[in-house]
Amino acid sequence: MQLWSITGNSQRLDGGAMFGNAPRALWSRWIAPDAQNRIPLACRCLLVKDLDGRNVLFEAGIGAFFEPALRERYGVVEDRHVLLDSLAAAGLSHEDIDAVVLSHLHFDHAGGLLAAWEEGQPPRLLFPNATYVVGAEHWRRAQQPHPRDRASFIPELQALLADSGRLELVEGAYAKTLGDAVRFSYSDGHTPGLMLAEVAGVVFCADLIPGRFWVHLPITMGYDRYPEALIDEKRAFLDDKLARGIELFFTHDHDCALARVARDDKGRYGTADELRELAGMVRA
């Protein structure tokens, strides 16, 4: 297998929202905000080439589906579909992808499934040869979102996925499409049914741990549904990955794709052996 970090469209979002109840005096030492208090965020995907002969993309980023006014509101930097360019740099097109695994269906993780916005054109799915792999519990949440996170979902997306005939809803640790090569676990602190994929010694942290600085246990996002539960989930998650030597893949860290879990002499979690990108890393 080959592992690639695939960049999608980037964002600039309010630092206070991204760091929850952590004060600006703390988080601004990690990521410097701009004049509007926004910090840079990646929407990074993991591409695994030759996973049992298939090309599998873990997440799709935010994409370019927003109309210009909404693109500005949500801080999307580029107007083109950057994910497609990044796939091309790895030697693939969206038509070459056999499966897209989605941790959840919030727009900054699933919007890249859609073609770039064009005036007067309805939303259209990309990846015509891929199976879309989604956790069943989160799918149910997406059908009836709570007012707290309704704006995080793309209204047309669920119907497009269902109508494609290529949607697999996963209930347990494994998907039929991927067999035992990819193992799933679940988290509810950010959103009910968040699906965390582990493959080739790497785990896609999604929004349980968006980047290096959220490895610290008390640090959560203002977007998280259940912050106290998320902290408990994060502790168990990190203990497990540290014990088994599983590396962390970050979707939103603007400057780090992969890192190893570390723990200091006071028991605080951190990261080590950080890599900014993956470009064909070979794993058995």
Burial state string for 249-271 with b = 16 or more CB within 10 A and e = fewer than 16: bbbbbbebbbbbbeeeeeeebeb
What end-to-end distance do the CA atoms of the chain give, in Å?
Answer: 6
Name the token pair of 40: 């840079």
Alpha carbons 87 and 4: distance in angstroms, whole number:
9
User: In the numeric block, which tokens belong to residue 19?
Assistant: 């760091």
pLDDT class of 106 with cuts at 50, 70, 90: very high
CA-based Rg of the chain, rounded to a whole angstrom?
18
Backbone angles phi, psi at 16, to 5 degrees: -65, -40
Q: What is the pLDDT of residue 111?
A: 98
pLDDT band, very low/low/confident/very high, at 284 (cuts 50, 70, 90): confident
Closest CA to 1 of 59, 45, 58, 52: 52
Distance in angstroms (rounded) separating the CA atoms of residues 52 and 54: 6
Q: What is the pLDDT of residues 139-194, one digit of tens each?
A: 999 999 999 999 999 999 999 999 999 999 999 999 999 999 999 999 999 999 99
Condensed to tens digits (0 to 9), the pLDDT of residues 51-60 reads 999 999 999 9
Distance CA 176, CA 211 (A): 29
The answer to whether residues 113 and 157 touch, using CB atoms and an 8 Å cutoff, is: yes
Give, for 261, the enclosing helix (H) or strand (E).
strand 258-263
How many H helices and E strands in the chain? 8, 15
d(CA 75, CA 190): 21
- The CATH number that domain 2-282 falls under is 3.60.15.10
Residue ranges of domains in the chain? 2-282
CA distance 112 to 121: 16
Task: Answer yes or no: pTM beyond 0.85.
Answer: yes
Q: Per-residue confidence at 197, pLDDT binned at 50, 70, 90?
A: very high
Pairing of strands 2-7, 99-102: unpaired
* 217 CB-near residues (< 8 Å, 6+ apart): 231, 234, 235, 268, 269
Q: What average pLDDT does the segment 235-261 reach?
A: 98
Nearest to 209 by CA among 173, 168, 237, 185: 237
Which residue type, as a one-letter code, is found at position 208?
L
Per-residue pLDDT tens for 28-58?
999 999 999 999 999 999 999 999 999 999 9
User: What is the β-pairing status of strands 54-58 and 99-102?
Assistant: parallel
Q: Is the pLDDT of residue 244 over 90?
A: yes
- Mean residue pLDDT of the chain comes to 97
| 3-state DSSP helix/strand/coil % of the chain, to nearest 5 | 25, 30, 45
Burial class (CB in 10 A: 0-12, 13-18, 19+), 43: buried
Scan for tokens 């968040």, then name that residue. 194
